Amino acid sequence: MTDWEKKAAAKRAQRDALLPQDLVQCDTSELDVLAFPAQSGNLSRQELEITDSQNITVLLDRIKDRTYSAEQVVRAFCRRAAIAQQLTNCLAEVFFDRAILHAKNLDDEYMRTGKPRGVLHGLPISLKEQIGVAGVERSFGFVGFLGRVVERDAAITALLVEAGAVPYCTTNVAQHLGFGAAVNNVFGETTNPSNRTLTSGGSSGGEGALIALRGSVLGIGSDIGGSVRIPAGFSGIYSLRPSYLRFPYEGTCNSQEGQESLRSVLGPMAASIDGLKLAFKTVLDLKPWRLDPAVLRMPWNEERYQLSEHGGGKNLVFGIMVDDGFVRAAPPYHRALDQVSSALKAAGHSVVEYKAYDAGMGYHLFGEVWTADGHKDLYDTLALSGEPRVGPLGSGPEVVQEEQVSVTKYWEIQYRKQRFLKAQLDHWNATEAVTGSGRPVDAILCPVSATAPQTLRGRQYYGYTAWCNLADYPSAVVPVTRVDQAKDPKVAREAYHNDLDRELWEMYDPEVYKNAPIGVQVVGQKDEDEAVIRMAEIVDAALKASRAS
């Protein structure tokens, strides 16, 4: 065993020793383990009632009316998180004892003052491992960073605590936070609880798996500097990717000089749709620009949430894109978007086809921006311990720079990017000619990926999320369905857009990907975060109504 392997093994042992030791080992060969926590016998009736809450707002109300104490809620989620860890290897750092003490203090304060700490009083919050928690190690999935303890809470952590939330764990990530699976040499690989031969996405895959198993109901994942966010779509949960500079940020540069030179968009991930608005509005109401100089002074906009620029939310027109013209999405996404389309029409809205603007060029530009440093940062960090690289470089874009580009070259890339984004915006606005509403399409509905959740470390295409990051379009993910072998058969095609399109289409196998979660994105234009949240709620409500009818 090499030195780095010994250090990683010691770290995992340290983490495991902090988990509850009275839990019966979850020994199962089942691929779908979503129901296993409730069947394991490890949770009491009350713990199941708490962790199975179907609505985060209702759970918070039950803490505030003292149906549950904050301590009871935190203890329940700590135990369920430990079960989720056994099943999917989703946790990085655990600090349950500290969280339970925090909850006790909140209970004492509430008893003494009669006032909850804040909107999130007593709610356990899980955090992606990159997010700083004072006194807790943060490695970004690198052996070379083990032993580095965060000195102070990140801005997002501090704001959540100020609102009454109780951080209790951090979750597994992709090495370097740079590809679509949560795997690294420190904590290993996180699997998808719906089918453990598949990935739960990345780079926030640990967060996605934990929430899917209800080891958390609300957590913070991320989009990294133009990277992709697919854990929610791959884990069957809700998520929001805010506009850049509207939500608190955290350093993600893995340099030895403080890890603060790159920024990442941090977005809420939740077990129920109400969690997106709850988390986003709560943080904005606490004025995050007080703590993070990069955050714009843009408070919550209620008019935007009420869709004042979109006919007040009545007779919305959605553009549906199942094929971006570069890589066609796999069959389950066709069925999912058909379901969404039918549900929205039944709810009184309209749906039109949306054709992407030159997705191949956008994907190419994304690759140029994402790999502009020639992966120097990655290689320098790997050299700290001698550990190997894990996962694909660039994780998908066909343009992968192996050498750093010059400043002049980088600005040339940015110039081409801005010209592309202008043309793309004009393309979107031109849809006014076909909507009949006097507006362009109000939002675009599209897949989370061209592929279903892939086999562990399998090939993925990020174009359906990368275009949002490139243009700074906020997007929300709504879970829709799961891969069904009978309903989602492999389909032959006579023609393909390119070799990548052929490779990914032919890779699809409904038996391999059975039960994999399939989510749909709701994409809005820049800074329409509140509108995207509301339209995601409308999509979700329409789906639920259609299933109930």
Give which of 48, 39, 150 is closest to 92, Cα–Cα.
150
How many whole angstroms separate alpha carbon 536 and alpha carbon 274? Answer: 10
How many whole angstroms separate alpha carbon 143 and alpha carbon 332? Answer: 38
Q: Which of 40, 53, 126, 128 is catalytic?
A: 128
CB burial readout 156-166, b (16+ within 10 A) else e: bbbbbbbbbbb
Q: In this structure, which amino acid lies at residue 136?
A: V
In contact, 309 and 427? CB cutoff 8 Å: no
In contact, 4 and 387? CB cutoff 8 Å: yes
Q: Which of 227, 235, 385, 395 is catalytic?
A: 227
Block residue for tokens 């052929």: 502
Q: What are 237's two structure tokens?
A: 């949960």
How many whole angstroms separate alpha carbon 383 and alpha carbon 378? Answer: 9
- Three-state SS string across 293-340, please? CCCCCCCCCHHHHCCCCCHHHCCCEEEECCECCCCECCHHHHHHHHHH
Q: What are 91's two structure tokens?
A: 């946790």
Backbone angles phi, psi at 98, to 5 degrees: -65, -40
In contact, 378 and 344? CB cutoff 8 Å: no
In contact, 165 and 260? CB cutoff 8 Å: no
Block residue for tokens 């956008």: 362
Q: Which residues pair with residue 78 across a beta bridge?
A: none
How many whole angstroms separate alpha carbon 207 and alpha carbon 231? Answer: 8
Specify whether 128 is catalytic. Answer: yes
Q: Which of 40, 203, 264, 272 is catalytic?
A: 203
Give the count of alpha carbons within 13 A of 307, CB side only.
19
Sheet of 317-320: strands edge to edge? 91-94, 166-171, 124-128, 218-224, 264-270, 238-241, 475-482, 517-523, 443-447, 317-320, 350-353
Where residue 479 falls (left for φ over 0; alpha for ψ -120 to 50; beta otherwise) is: beta
Specify whether 261 is catalytic. Answer: no
In contact, 181 and 205? CB cutoff 8 Å: yes
In contact, 36 and 27? CB cutoff 8 Å: no
Residues marked as binding for substrate? Answer: 177, 203, 224-227
How many whole angstroms separate alpha carbon 247 and alpha carbon 222? Answer: 11
Block residue for tokens 């809470």: 153
DSSP tag of 6: H
Helices (runs of H) and strands (runs of E) counted in the chain: 19, 15
Residues marked as binding? Answer: 177, 203, 224-227
In contact, 166 and 127? CB cutoff 8 Å: no
Q: What are 405's two structure tokens?
A: 């580009």
Give the catalytic positions in this structure.
128, 203, 227
